[in-house]
Structure 1
Amino acid sequence: MVISPGFKLSRRHVVVGLSLIGFFIVGIFAWQAWTASRALLDARTHAETVQKRIKAGDFDGANRALAELRSNTSKAHDSTDGLLWDLGKHIPYFGRNVGAVQTVSEVLDTATQVNAPIALELSRAVDAGVFRPDKGQLNLTEIQKLTPKVNRAAASIEKASRDLDGIRSGKLVFPFNDLVGDLKDEVERARSASTATATAFDLMPQMLGADQPRDYLLIIQNPAELRATGGLPGSLAVLHADKGRITMGWQGSAGDVNPFSGPVVTLPKDTLQQYGPTMATDFRDINFTPDFPQAAQIAKAMLAQKLKIHVDGVVSVDPLALAGLMQGTGPINAGHGVVLTASNVVPVLLNQTYQSIQDAAAQDTFFENVARKIFDAVTTGQGNQQLAITGLANATNQHRVQLWSDRDDEESRLAGTAVGGALGGKSGRTPQVGMYINDSTAGKMDYYLQYRSSVSAVDCRRHGAQDLRASVSFVSTMPKDYQRLSEFITGTGAYAPKGTIAFNLRFYAPYGGEIVGLTVNGKPNSATADLHHGRQVAFLPVALKPQEQVIVTADIRTAPGQDGDGVFSFTPGMIPAPNGVTFTSACD
């Protein structure tokens, strides 16, 4: 380029030149941002199409939609990957939004390139009947073939969760704050599900007797009489697994295991103080504690001492989980003119049987027959396996399916998963809050108890502590003409007046935290507070008359350094709801 001798470069020329360059850079940046946003919006549409095609069994259509989805996320990733975006991340205030969009684009691109094809392959395998039992036999070889891919998907989602965890969505501008917050929630749910799936694929062969036979105690918990882990451990059975073939042996009830003249195990001092000695002397009370592994170990000891039956682990479900399975199996003839379906199995097992059969032994016989009928339907592959697996997955997400193994290596893998059921202790930056219920009417009144609960972080304090608020609304749906109900439902009146739903409520603060206040229907209320597993516990007896509502709120303060998103777990009741849910940090 030749510059005229008369040309003088002034400050104005420099400013104009730099402005033009700046506008050019901003223009490129804006164009790339617009391209990325359009691609991400299109990706959302195609992601929904992929899901719809899979549900419809149209895997060719799902593959076509997946190809479009991968093209969209790849375009978004390419548009946000470059020097301009890397530099943009360091611009004060605006930079955090640039970095968030860049991370989201990368996470979604990885999800479609790595995770989506594996999910599609698994769905195709389910549709093809790969996981369908044949006369009680599961194909462990096919499960082992798919395990590396399942683990790869789980590792990818785990990385995505860590990457997104570094974004403080509360500090982003609208609409990025909501979009990133929603994505973090979705990825966290996917992380939990993929981790549980990978653990299941890893452990399934050995736990189903690939190397040596295994025996498991099956407990069907009854949420009509609540216990902290879900319900009274009523109907029991022993399952035998050998090289993938599962059979049902002994069946019975808690009454067949009781009574015991003394404790079968020595309870830890904090458990004994919190829940009393009957956990170790009465099978019906083993799960007063919300710590399922502890309850399972007591069950194993009781079974061995009383019946000389030795098991390698304990698995637990409840009738709402059975209803999920029956969405796939279809109707099951239980005999005596009773046909069970996904829509009626819960009221039949938790309420109607206690009204129509007025003999405890006959009730147990009916429950045992139903358990075997459902077991046979599942293990013979009856019905739609995809619906059955989906129903079981939903129940697992609600903490209605729990599993404990007496092998330390297996139990260490189960701990922390949705099926592990362990009561958390130290948890780093993650505050864990619990709300657990134990019935005190000695009836089946909790069938009429509905509750919805939540936790939110309301303030970020010095040194990374948070103020939390846990709230639960209890409603009694007990009919006013409760006198017509049998005493199997209402109880005898010895522990609570007939028609009253009575239970003990416990809030667990995070490890090292404290419960600083408790209100009942807006009025301050005192509560007993002790430690269990290093966590402060507030104990409150509650009683509801027919049609009454009670709202309980607990104000909780975490320990310093617990400034991350929290996790809230609770006793699963009659209302299906996700459990182990994440709540957003106030320090975000």
Structure 2
Amino acid sequence: MPPAKRSASLKLMPINAPKRIIDIEKPKAAPMTDAVAPRGAPQKPRRRRMVLAACLAAFVVTSAAGVTFYDLKRRAFEAKESVAANLKEVAAAFQSFDIAKARAPLRAIKTELEALRAEASAIGAFELFALGGKLFPVLKDIPGALDDFLAFSGTALQVSEELSVLERGAFGMMFTGRGPELLERLGRIDGEVTHMLGLASRLQSSAAALRWQFPGEYLSLMVKLYRHQALLQGLRGFLGDAKPAYLALLFQNPSEMRPTGGFIGSYAVLTVQNGNVTDIDVRDIYDPDGQLDKAVLPPRPLQAITGRWGARDANWFFNFPTSAAKALSFLEQSKIYSEQHVTFGAGVAVNATVIADVLSVTGPIELPEYHKTVTGDNFLATVQEEVESGADKRAGTPKRMLKVLTPLLLQRLANATDDQKRGLAEILRNAVRRKNLMAYAKDRALEAYLENSGLGGELYMSSSPAAEDYLAVVNANIAGGKSDAFMEESIALESNIDIEGKVTNRLTVTRAHTGDTQDAWWYRAPNKNFIQLFTPSDTRLTGLSGNDDKTPDAPLVRPTYLRDPDVEAIERTGAWITEYKALAYDQFGKKTFAAWLTVKAGQKKTLIADYELGSRVLLAEGVNYRFVFERQSGTKTRLQYTVDAPPGFIWKESNATSYAFQSGDPDGRIVLDLTLKKL
């Protein structure tokens, strides 16, 4: 019998009851959506239309954002090239502390970014990116990225303008009682640099949002910002202490050459408190040396003229930080300062030629008591004459003229006009570039800044993986009068790299004494020169000619005298090369060959040194080779350098087998980077 059919029934629901669909087969209630019409009414596809509208809106937004992003990307790429190039200029200007040079590229960056932002705003990019960013998060970062770059460039421009004000006015503030204003400005700039560093930390991600990549420029600028902050904080610490701080100005006379630029005949002590220079004391260097309780043996070459070492001969080391620290140490040991518990926070070496250049800008200074007018042209000769044979010499105070002149000159500098300040800034930059102005600070952060900015006078230390050659020719006048005022020097280095990568060098140093036309005996004196050739540490001398046939004198034996640890460390490495009448030393990571070279007035002598480097050059396409030359402060020298590539190669930079460089007035440090290229 067939199964009975299940009866079906329709259950009516109240009008206000929740809308449900009843499955008559499986009577389980399911809630309806508002999009579903009551049974019996025509069904409208509202859900489908809303989804379609949303998709269409997303398509329109993303399409518009995509087109806008493409247009902006193209424009941003153009801006990126300009920004990257200008960032390089800013970093270079900050490196050389040429703040005026930084302003133009910073303005260019700001203008470029403002134009880019204006164009983005004009095409509605930011609104579209805000909406499109919900679908594509990368879009929402673009407005903020532009803002970061704009804020950074604006703050950097403000800092550069503040620094320019200090460059022109800091000296005057210190000497006219406006020290607190100087400190306040330094503090404000420090805060702005801190803000810049915060912005700079975001620039990499901001650059990524704009598809900009310039990590080299970014890192370079970051490093220089940190260095400038160290300078600002170091200066505030040194200048702003309520206790007196002391700075020694070491006046070097290049007419009597010494390794860092000239004999230290006199010096000045500047007392600084709360940003103000409160005292200037100019003295003969023999004053503190005459009040040293401890006797120290001098370096061997100096023992020919003195039995006791002191501040006057402290600049014996070519590495300026070592010489400056030694000079300050001798000053502090003198009773003049030790009894008053005076310590020096910093030392600045100024060559007499810099003072002459400064006088050419500030104008003549009258010295009525001497019946003289000192100018840039006659400064050196006038002071030298008074020191050697004037009334002050006869009275036992040969450096008194400098004591009278220095405060007058500093007053001129403090009251310089804007035009004079610009001229003085250029003079000081040139002096730093040629190492005629060098500075040393005991504060490590401040000293690091000085070294990185070219003011430190430290020896070059290799940090490059490339094969390198290095040269410095360093002179020391020992009992040769003031004859270096009329010495002319030319340096020629010929290098050859052979088929095995070995570097052989021939160095020719020619020194001409033109003082025979002078009346003063101190200019006509024979130039007795202890010459040192600084080369890479693994150098081997294979020939030397033209030097004096002179054997070193026996060293002084003074059992009660102290031995200086820095001098002893160098002299312990010394070896006498009988064949060449020369000494070999290891110092400051360099191999040094030293000999005597005496030139009489009206004569010329040539020293020729042949040597080879221990390290080999890798012979392969694209291999880098570096030559570094460091000029001695105060010298009048010319440089010629040639290097021949190994067989089968040329130099990429000259597109020839030989590369040549020459300069009639080289900078303090020259770095030449070359690249091998296969024929």
1:501 to 510, 527, 536: 527
Q: Deviations over 1:235-277 (max 9, x none)?
A: 122111122212434331122123478865688xxxx567669
Residue 668 (structure 2) aligns with: 579
Q: 1:366 aligns with which of 387, 391, 401?
A: 401
| Letter paired with 2:537 | Y
1:279–1:209 Cα change, 3 Å: farther
Residue correspondence of structure 1 range 225-240 to structure 2 within 5 A: 225-240=256-271
- Does residue 332 (structure 1) correspond to residue 365 (structure 2)? The answer is yes
In 2: Cα distance, 1:427 partner to 1:64 partner: 30
| 1:387 partner amino acid | G
Q: How does 1:255-266 map to 2 (within 5 A)?
A: 255-259=286-290
Which runs of structure 2 are paired with 1:173-572 in the superposition (5 Å)? Answer: 200-210=231-241, 212-259=243-290, 272=299, 281-309=309-337, 310-312=342-344, 313-335=346-368, 336-350=370-384, 354=388, 359=393, 361-381=396-416, 384-415=420-451, 417-424=453-460, 427-429=463-465, 431-453=469-491, 458-459=496-497, 466-467=503-504, 470-480=507-517, 482=518, 484-486=519-521, 489=522, 499-520=525-546, 527-558=582-613, 560=615, 564-572=625-633
Residues 584, 127 of structure 1: CA spacing in aligned structure 2 closer, same or farther, 3 A cutoff? closer
Contact 2:545 2:609 in 1 (8 A): yes
CA contact (8 A) 2:256 2:482 kept: yes
2: distance between equivalents of 1:308 and 1:462? 60
Letter in 1 for 2:327: A
Report Cα offsets for 1:130-169 as digits up to 9, x if no partner: 664351545233244445778979xx9xxxxxxxxxxxxx
Taking the aligned partners of 1:194 and 1:330, their CA distance within structure 2 comes to: 37
What are the superposed Cα offsets for residues 419-444 of structure 1, whole Å, 9 maximum, x if unpaired?
A: 22234556554554322111022521
User: Contact 1:324/1:392 (CA < 8 Å) preserved in 2?
Assistant: no
Indicate conservation of the 8 Å contact 1:274/1:532, yes or no: no
Q: CA deviation at 1:351?
A: 5.5
Q: Measured at CA, do residues 570 and 119 of structure 1 come closer, stay the same or move farther in structure 2, by a change above 3 Å?
A: farther
Task: Report the Cα distance in structure 1 between the residues aligned to 2:154 and 2:490, rounded to whole angstroms.
Answer: 37
Shift of 1:231: 0.7
Please give the per-residue CA displacement for 1:511-545, whole angstroms capped at 9, x wherever unaligned: 34444444549xx9653222223421111211222
Aligned amino acid, residue 572 of structure 1? S
Q: Say if 2:291 and 2:336, in contact at 8 Å, map to a contact too.
A: no
Partner SS, residue 454 of structure 2: coil
How big is the shift at 1:283? 2.9
- CA deviations 1:486-530 (Å, max 9, x no partner) are 4xx25xxxxxxx642221110111234444444549xx9653222
Q: TM-score, normalised to structure 1's length? A: 0.63
CA contact (8 A) 2:254 2:263 kept: yes
Question: In the alignment, is the contact (CA less than 8 A) between 1:118 and 1:150 conserved in 2?
Answer: no
Q: Which SS does the other structure have where 2:258 is aligned?
A: coil
Structure 1 Cα separation of the partners of residues 226 and 365 of structure 2: 32
Instruction: Compute the displacement of 1:290 (Å).
Output: 1.3
Deviation at 1:362, TM superposition (A): 4.2
Rg larger for:
2
1:282–1:130 distance in 2 versus 1, CA, 3 Å:
closer
The amino acid that maps onto 1:141 is: E
TM superposition shift of 1:466 = 4.7
Q: CA deviation at 1:218?
A: 1.7
CA offset digits 1:292-332 (Å, max 9, x no partner)? 22222332232233234123232211111223433443332
CA distance, structure 2, for counterparts of residue 259 and residue 209 of structure 1: 33
User: For the Cα contact (< 8 Å) 1:460–1:587, is it kept in 2?
Assistant: no
TM-score normalized with structure 2 length = 0.55
User: Could you tell me whether the CA contact under 8 Å between 1:265 and 1:301 is conserved in 2?
Assistant: no
Asked if the contact 2:234/2:445 (under 8 Å) is kept, the reply is: no
Deviation larger for 409-418 or 219-228: 409-418
Deviates more, 1:274-283 or 1:510-519: 274-283
Indicate conservation of the 8 Å contact 2:478/2:528, yes or no: yes
Distance change >3 Å, CA 331–CA 571, structure 1 → 2: same
CA contact (8 A) 1:222 1:319 kept: yes
Which AA in structure 1 matches 2:439? L
Q: Tell me the CA shift for residue 366 of structure 1.
A: 0.9
Report percent identity of matched pairs. Answer: 17
In structure 2, do the counterparts of structure 1 residues 460 and 143 end up closer, same or farther at CA, with 3 Å as the change threshold?
farther
Secondary structure at the aligned position of 2:516 is classed as coil
- Tell which deviates more after alignment, 221-230 or 335-344: 335-344
1:367-401 superposed Cα distances (whole Å, 9 cap, x missing partner): 22122222232244467222112211211111122
How big is the shift at 1:402? 2.0
Provide the rounded CA distance (Å) in 1 between the counterparts of 2:162 and 2:463.
32
Q: Check whether the contact 1:515–1:555 (CA below 8 A) recurs between aligned residues.
A: yes
Relative to structure 1, is the Cα distance of residues 127 and 412 closer, same or farther in structure 2, using a 3 angstrom cutoff?
closer
Instruction: Answer yes or no: is the 8 Å Cα contact 2:349–2:438 preserved in 1.
Output: yes
- Check whether the contact 1:425–1:534 (CA below 8 A) recurs between aligned residues: yes
Shift in CA distance, 369/541, structure 1 to aligned 2, threshold 3 Å: same
- For 1:537 and 1:196, how far apart are their aligned partners in 2? 32
Distance 2:534 2:257 in 1: 17
- Secondary structure, counterpart of 2:532 in structure 1: strand
The offset of 1:195, in angstroms, is 10
In structure 2, C-alpha distance between the alignment counterparts of 1:327 and 1:264, rounded to whole Å: 42
Secondary structure of 2:388's counterpart equals helix
Alignment of 1:7-26 (within 5 A): none
Separation (CA, whole Å) in 2 of partners of 1:259 and 1:284: 11
Partners of 2:106 and 2:596 lie apart in 1 by 54
Superposition CA RMSD, Å: 4.9
1:400 alignment partner AA: N
Displaced runs of 4+ in structure 1, greater than 6 A? 62-66, 68-71, 113-116, 148-153, 190-199
Shift of 1:343: 3.3
Q: Counterparts of 1:353 and 1:119 in 2: how far apart (Å)?
A: 45
Q: CA deviation at 1:215?
A: 0.6
Distance 2:436 2:224 in 1: 14
Mapped partners of 2:460, 2:222: distance in 1: 18
Measure the CA separation in 2 of the matches of 1:65 and 1:415.
Answer: 25
Q: How far does residue 116 in structure 1 lie from its aligned partner after superposition?
A: 10
Distance 1:115 1:578 in 2: 33
